[in-house]
Amino acid sequence: MRERWDEMRLCASELAANAVLHGAPPGRDFNVRLVRERARLLIEVRDSGPGLPVIQCASPDAPAGRGLWLVREVAEEFGVLDEPVGKTAWVAFAVWPGRPAG
């Protein structure tokens, strides 16, 4: 799992940045949650803002717009849950079952 830490940090950072920039209304917080299941690590970021994130196909010269595309490419799974208030964006990484995290 340690060999994937950079990818896990990238995904957590990107999802949190999106919550700050696009998801959480002014004056509202967002929540980051890590969940270790038997064979995977989940990283969840929840905000209370409206709308769902969209994966963009940014042009090569665009200064932004690649974050969720990168997240989808490096994580084993990526998804968004539409919540009663806001949404939860999540990624999952495979980890060895039965081994301690880290």
So what's the pLDDT on residue 3? 78
Query: What domains sit in the chain, N to C, each tagged with a CATH number?
Result: 2-94 (3.30.565.10)
| pLDDT > 60? residue 100 | no
Please spell the DSSP secondary structure of 16-79, one letter per residue. HHHIIIIISPTT---EEEEEE-SSEEEEEEEE--SS--------TT-SS--HHHHHHHHSSEEE
Which tens digit of pLDDT belongs to each residue from 39-70?
899 999 999 999 999 888 888 888 888 899 99
Confidence of residue 99 (pLDDT cuts 50, 70, 90): low
So what's the pLDDT on residue 36? 93
Mean pLDDT of the chain: 90
So what's the pLDDT on residue 98? 57
